[in-house]
Structure 1
Amino acid sequence: MAGVSHSSFADGVEHTVARVRGDLIELSHSIHAEPELAFHEHRSRAKTQALVAERGFEVVPVAGLDTAFRASFGSGDLVVGVCAEYDALPELGHACGHNIIAASAVGAALALAEVADALNLTVVLLGTPAEEAGGGKVLMMEAGAFDDVAAAVMMHPGPVDIAAARSLALSEVNVSYTGKEAHAAVAPFLGVNAADAVTVAQVAVGLLRQHLFPGQMMHGIVTDGGQAPNVVPRHASMRYTMRANDTAALHALEEKMAGCFAAGALATGCQHRVESVSPIYQELTPDPWLSQTFRSEMLRLGRAPVPAELEAALPLGSTDMGNVTQLLPGIHPVVGVEANGASVHQPGFAEAAAGPAGDAAVIDGAIMLARTVVALAETPAERDRVAGLAERRAS
């Protein structure tokens, strides 16, 4: 049974986080003040890796991505990854609190470095860009950045505390229609209206909603609807996101949505193309033992996590950390941030992410992550379990 660790190593990592508290808060606020979008997080990456580089972590680039990195410390046979996200949202900045994620990950990595030799650990801080759009972790996985990692941990801020957070599988596509321009008043009969194709497709999507399975959903925007009202649009486009409880249900939804997109082209005589925007995000499947250990740490710090029986009913959007948890044991708990009723992806949450509640999430998150990893390292059966899974993957 997982539980709170009372070892000197657990206390030691907590003391380390307390000692570097000022540096972590400064890091969080600095990333927050200069939000950067997916694959352009150059300043955020540099800030995130700076503190661990000073501590002696070996920092190397990953997957040919300018804003990804892998920073390693120690030479133990148990390799644990701590994931740091730092991309922001268009217009909303850090309304998802990735500044908190980055700072808490750095805090956990620094703390674990202090006990790495004693616990026979290798600590790996993974700078993972483009979570909001682009699937940075998936690209890093494909490049081998997680190959030797036995377990991966990270936290995410949110409106409530959730120890075993789950997420939906996701795919995102651009849909473009090509018709024929014409003067909208003089000779509209010579045109093929691409904007009409978008309208037909969206009507079809709206009618499909009645027949979705629980957990399936879709949402989209029109990214191009024409340039002038007196010209029949030759080109129009949409971007749609599709989600479902698991990857199989997602693929079933994709097939139905493909028919809706094709309907727009068929009804108007347009040509159409559907292109994936990023890798599929698989559903988040937290490791039960690590999640229970993190829950115990939440309770120890006086937090009030959502009851375990309600966790599955609270999916948290989608994340490429889901792909990581499909490959190896991992967790992605939510650490609560009081934001006056605002939730993630709202301006009020962006403000709170650099306020007192956000700062508390940085420190508590770092402590809980570090102590959870210490508990893993000190529990022989669980240590052997995750190490054995890593060995089987390698073979």
Structure 2
Amino acid sequence: MALEPAGPGADSSVEPSISRPAVERAKQHVARTLACDAEQLVRLSERLHANPETAWEEHRAAGWVAELLDEAGFVVTPAYLGLDTAFLATYGTGPFRLGLCAEYDALPGLGHACGHNLIAAITVGAARSLAALADDAGLTVEVYGTPAEEGGGGKIELLERGAFAGLDLAMLAHPAPVDIAEAEALAVSHSHVAFTGRAAHAAAFPEQGINAADAFTVAQVAIGLLRQHLPQTVRVHGVVTDGGVAPNAVPDRTEGRWYVRAERLEALAEVERRVWHCFEAGALATGCTVEVTPESKPYAEFRTFEPAQRAYVANAARLGRRFDQDSPGRRMNRASTDMGNVSQAVPAIHPYIGIDSLPALNHQPEFAAHCVGPAAERALLDAATALAWTALDVATGETIAPAATPDSCH
């Protein structure tokens, strides 16, 4: 589909912009392509939902997502930059480099309770709908398959290996209970905590034991008391993953996973110091040793690229999406994401697409159930459309009312 430049009178010394009618026709093409792709995009989402894979284990998911891009003519690089469950898929040779991020990892024990099955399908849909337009619209479309968002920091690993460098815009759309225009993600660190003590018979020789479970109890009480002195935006939360093996044996080792969140990386470092002192207090009080090990590099706060954000909001509104500023479900935009680190390196947006799940919220089993079905399917197609339209607006410098979806797939 050819897109013509603006008419006579344009300054020939600069790259001409694409005319408004041409952008509108391109948006019609996007809508038509997505209408035709809808069935297989929904199948992809359902397949991922039915076969959840957790961080760094998304071998089938990465393959299924990349397969649909390969079928559309994208050049796919599997195991991208040495990460087994990452990939890069590219199409086009235009000067505007668009990065679309696919997430597909699930939560341990909860499956796709954050809707990454939908993120993957949304990204594939947006990318496929732009493929035939890429060269005429001046785009290079790059799809990044990014593993381990749920605590593993896959995008950070990719960033540090050279991914995303030089992108003009990076995007993804994330499921939430309601539509939310802008990510206000907190910075977060993910840590593994282990106390080591000494085992003993709890009845016969208790004085010989050094109780690693008690160390965690002391630490958690200290954290609870610390919370009254922390800013309202700070979050400290975790779970004990190994609390001992038998009630008549003094636990000699306990382990847990803890997250600390703050508005910015700088504030996070200070809060972390105070939280680690609580774990040290548990070790000191019981005679244990403690080891705190990062599970990934810290996630950064999100920096929104405002021109793309405005375009997305306009396009989503024209699709009938409504941004409810008063809904309790909109607090999802405070959740942390490794897309924050991408946003610190290149222009980026991270809107949230509502799936009408209330009262179910992200990371609840009930939310996972809402990530398939009619509302989820509508969100999938609306988000893919809005992202693709936004890419065209930003790449061409135009923001116009998109046309309705054509009836025919031919």
TM-score by length of 2: 0.88
Give the alignment's Cα RMSD to 1 decimal.
2.1
Q: Partners in 2 of 1:20 and 1:313 — Cα distance? A: 32
Q: Which amino acid aligns with 1:254?
A: E
CA positional deviation for 1:361: 1.0
Local SS of the residue matching 1:364 = helix
Partner of 1:150: 168
Q: Is the 8 A contact 1:192 1:232 kept in 2?
A: yes
Q: Partners in 2 of 1:119 and 1:272 — Cα distance? A: 56
CA positional deviation for 1:59: 0.6
Local SS of the residue matching 2:97 = strand
Q: Which amino acid aligns with 1:351?
A: A
CA positional deviation for 1:314: 5.9
Partner of 1:32: 49
Is 1:98 matched with 2:134?
no
CA positional deviation for 1:340: 4.6
Q: Partners in 2 of 1:8 and 1:338 — Cα distance? A: 31
Local SS of the residue matching 2:94 = coil
Is 1:52 matched with 2:69?
yes
CA positional deviation for 1:307: 4.3
Partner of 1:186: 204
Cα distance change, pair 18–380 in 1 and its aligned pair in 2 (3 A):
closer
CA positional deviation for 1:63: 2.4
Structure 2 counterpart of 1:120, from 138, 147, 160: 138
Q: Partners in 2 of 1:312 and 1:51 — Cα distance? A: 32
Is 1:302 matched with 2:302?
no
Partner of 2:370: 352
Select between 220-229 and 369-378 the one with higher mean Cα deviation.
Answer: 220-229
Q: Is the 8 A contact 1:285 1:326 kept in 2?
A: yes
Q: What are structure 2's unaligned runs of at least 5 residues?
A: 1-19, 400-410
Q: Is the 8 A contact 2:180 2:330 kept in 1?
A: no
| Superposed counterparts of 1:336-347, under 5 Å | 336-347=354-365
Is 1:174 matched with 2:192?
yes
Q: Partners in 1 of 2:110 and 2:351 — Cα distance? A: 23
Q: Partners in 2 of 1:48 and 1:5 — Cα distance? A: 30
Q: Which amino acid aligns with 1:40?
A: E
Q: Is the 8 A contact 1:164 1:288 kept in 2?
A: no
Is 1:13 matched with 2:30?
yes
Local SS of the residue matching 1:281 = coil
Q: Is the 8 A contact 1:164 1:292 kept in 2?
A: no
Q: Is the 8 A contact 1:225 1:237 kept in 2?
A: yes
CA positional deviation for 1:4: 12
Identity %: 47
CA positional deviation for 1:5: 9.9
Q: Is the 8 A contact 1:80 1:124 kept in 2?
A: yes
Q: Is the 8 A contact 1:5 1:375 kept in 2?
A: no
Instruction: Number of aligned residue pairs: give it.
Output: 378
Partner of 2:107: 89
Q: Which amino acid aligns with 1:21?
A: A
Structure 2 counterpart of 1:327, from 321, 325, 345: 345
TM-score by length of 1: 0.92
CA positional deviation for 1:142: 1.0
Q: Partners in 1 of 2:119 and 2:331 — Cα distance? A: 23
Q: Which amino acid aligns with 2:279?
A: F
Q: What is the CA deviation profile of residues 255-305 of structure 1, one whole-angstrom value per residue up to 9, with x for unaligned ones? A: 100110100111111111110111211112221111111110111011111
Q: Is the 8 A contact 2:178 2:329 kept in 1?
A: no
Local SS of the residue matching 1:66 = coil
Q: Is the 8 A contact 2:355 2:375 kept in 1?
A: yes
Q: What are structure 1's unaligned runs of at least 5 residues?
A: 382-395
Is 1:23 matched with 2:53?
no
